[in-house]
């Protein structure tokens, strides 16, 4: 992009190499306050390079631990989003969207290091008044239920896709402190409202997008941004779980598209969060919550085969920092991945029950019924015909209530029966197994209350 190159020239004018006292190593340091200068890095290396291409390269990913000081430019973040980590869903489209979220990358340079001045959750002058007039108020924003009246305590700035930063005033942008309290307000709303979850989800989905927009326009890329992005990931992961619960009945088609959009957005927010972790890394350290939030990616993508080619987990792991790999949370995720990939239903469930955090559980929840179906398939397939499998035992293995096990088996096209003592059993070697249709039923998880205690 021309702007970027021009900027570089401004900061690094072509100097007459023989003039005054400038030596080669100072040519870049004069107007840059780099926090860290590794020894001998900038002096380049004088080893003779291979004259010819050696043909192949070793294939190992470059080490990740090149320290970087805080980045200031949005361009960097935009390109970093493309190169640093790739994410499941249509990466290029997402990168384009990321550009849009961060607004027109070139124009927003004007806002670099600018601080917004809007003191309310929603800019008072323009947006609030306009939306009152147009009766464009969400149910949570209505004062006493009045669709044409709101207040500064209730109105929250909407996400605007086509905003041109040329027309945006600083008074329309919320500073960090206001963004923080806006986010807290929204998170509280999620837990306290009587409205159906889809409605809350929709509202928070949009309003948090606007928060990210304000954050990026002000170039906030430090630990405070990390803190906020983590909360937004929480929202999307919990929605991932709660939207499944509400997906039944006449609304179910709408919910499943909400679920899909939520997953897309979750992917974007996670990618941005990982970029923030990378930007803020000091030497070999990692952010306090980084292991858990990295582990979520693995758990969301257990079925790596469903990801587009070139984005499989094998590639993703190449670029994960070593301290994160060795962390408790990532070790858990990798073990779950191993159990999933080897069809080890016994360890899959027992490990989740014993070690999963609430967020981790929510992330991997869609796979739970898949593994259950697999377990039933394997047992039906390999079990001795004269030894029907006790449902009680199955319920322990699969972490399900006995009654739910029964209906699950039936959903798999299998019949249950009773043994001589009157216990429920699953006869094996039944010929007609099928995988239950998606969204067929909501089954619980026996260890769920325990897991919720980690919240």
Asked if 328 is part of the footprint of other proteins (rule: CB under 8 A), the reply reads: no
> Whole-number minimum distance, CB 62 to other proteins, in Å?
7
3-class DSSP assignment, residue 214: helix
**Which residues, numbered 43-102, are part of the site for other proteins (CB under 8 A)?**
43-44, 46, 48-49, 51, 53-62, 66, 68-71, 73, 75-76, 79-80, 82-86, 91
Asked if 317 is part of the footprint of other proteins (rule: CB under 8 A), the reply reads: yes
**Which residues, numbered 369-388, are part of the site for other proteins (CB under 8 A)?**
377-379, 381-387
CA distance 117 to 101: 20
Q: Select 31 or 162, whichever has its Cβ closest to other proteins.
A: 31
Among 160, 190, 315, 353, binds other proteins (CB under 8 A): 315
Q: Select 86 or 265, whichever has its Cβ closest to other proteins.
A: 86
* CA proximity to 408, closest of 445, 353, 361, 365: 445
From residue 333 to residue 352, the character string flagging contacts with other proteins as x (rule: CB under 8 A) and all else as - is ----xx--xxxxxxx-----
CA distance 224 to 64: 23
From residue 283 to residue 312, the character string flagging contacts with other proteins as x (rule: CB under 8 A) and all else as - is ----------------------x--xxxxx
> Whole-number minimum distance, CB 161 to other proteins, in Å?
26
CA distance 226 to 106: 24
Q: Select 60 or 144, whichever has its Cβ closest to other proteins.
A: 60
**Which residues, numbered 390-419, are part of the site for other proteins (CB under 8 A)?**
390, 393, 397
Q: Select 69 or 193, whichever has its Cβ closest to other proteins.
A: 69
Under 8 Å between Cβ of 113 and 72 = yes
Neighbours of 26 (CB within 10 A): 10
> Whole-number minimum distance, CB 412 to other proteins, in Å?
15
> Whole-number minimum distance, CB 102 to other proteins, in Å?
14
**Which residues, numbered 21-40, are part of the site for other proteins (CB under 8 A)?**
24-25, 27-29, 32, 34-38
> Whole-number minimum distance, CB 422 to other proteins, in Å?
16
Number of residues interacting with other proteins: please give it, by CB under 8 A: 90
- H helix intervals, 12-170: 74-83, 91-101, 129-134
C-alpha gyration radius of the chain? 27
CA distance 292 to 233: 11
Q: Which residues pair with 393 in a beta bridge?
A: none
Residue 338: which residues within 8 A CB-CB, separation 6 or more?
344
Under 8 Å between Cβ of 321 and 64 = yes
> What is the bridge-based pairing of β-strands 389-390 and 417-418?
unpaired
């Amino acid at each position: 992009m021309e702007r970027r190159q021009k900027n570089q020239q401004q900061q690094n004018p072509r100097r007459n190499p023989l003039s005054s006292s400038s030596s080669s190593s100072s040519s870049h340091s004069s107007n840059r306050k780099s926090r860290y200068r590794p020894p001998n890095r900038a002096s380049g290396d004088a080893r003779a390079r291979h004259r010819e291409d050696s043909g192949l390269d070793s294939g190992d990913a470059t080490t990740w631990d090149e320290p970087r000081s805080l980045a200031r430019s949005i361009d960097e973040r935009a390109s970093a989003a493309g190169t640093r980590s790739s994410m499941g869903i249509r990466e290029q489209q997402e990168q384009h969207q990321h550009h849009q979220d961060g607004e027109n990358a070139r124009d927003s340079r004007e806002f670099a290091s600018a601080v917004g001045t809007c003191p309310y959750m929603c800019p008072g002058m323009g947006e609030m008044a306009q939306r009152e007039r147009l009766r464009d108020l969400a149910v949570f924003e209505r004062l006493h239920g009045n669709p044409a009246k709101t207040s500064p305590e209730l109105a929250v700035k909407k996400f605007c896709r086509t905003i041109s930063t040329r027309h945006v005033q600083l008074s329309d942008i919320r500073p960090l402190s206001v963004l923080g309290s806006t986010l807290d307000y929204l998170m509280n709303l999620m837990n306290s409202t009587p409205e159906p979850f889809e409605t809350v989800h929709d509202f928070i989905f949009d309003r948090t997008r606007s928060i990210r927009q304000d954050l990026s326009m002000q170039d906030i890329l430090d630990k405070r941004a990390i803190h906020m992005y983590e909360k937004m990931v929480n929202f999307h992961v919990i929605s991932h779980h709660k939207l499944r619960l509400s997906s039944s009945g006449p609304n179910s088609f709408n919910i499943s598209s909400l679920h899909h959009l939520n997953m897309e957005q979750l992917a974007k927010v996670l990618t941005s969060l990982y970029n923030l972790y990378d930007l803020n890394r000091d030497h070999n350290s990692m952010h306090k919550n980084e292991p858990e939030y990295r582990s979520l990616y693995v758990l969301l993508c257990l079925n790596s085969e469903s990801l587009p080619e070139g984005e499989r987990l094998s590639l993703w792991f190449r670029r994960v920092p070593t301290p994160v790999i060795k962390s408790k949370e990532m070790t858990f995720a990798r073990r779950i991945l191993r159990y999933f990939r080897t069809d080890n239903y016994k360890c899959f469930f027992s490990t989740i029950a014993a070690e999963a955090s609430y967020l981790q559980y929510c992330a991997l929840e869609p796979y739970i019924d898949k593994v259950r179906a697999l377990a039933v398939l394997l047992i039906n397939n390999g079990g001795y015909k004269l030894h029907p499998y006790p449902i009680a035992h199955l319920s322990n293995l699969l972490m399900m209530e006995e009654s739910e096990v029964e209906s699950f088996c039936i959903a798999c096209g299998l019949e249950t029966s009773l043994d001589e003592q009157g216990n429920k059993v699953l006869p094996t070697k039944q010929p007609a197994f099928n995988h239950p249709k998606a969204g067929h039923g909501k089954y619980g998880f026996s260890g769920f209350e325990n897991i919720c205690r980690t919240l």
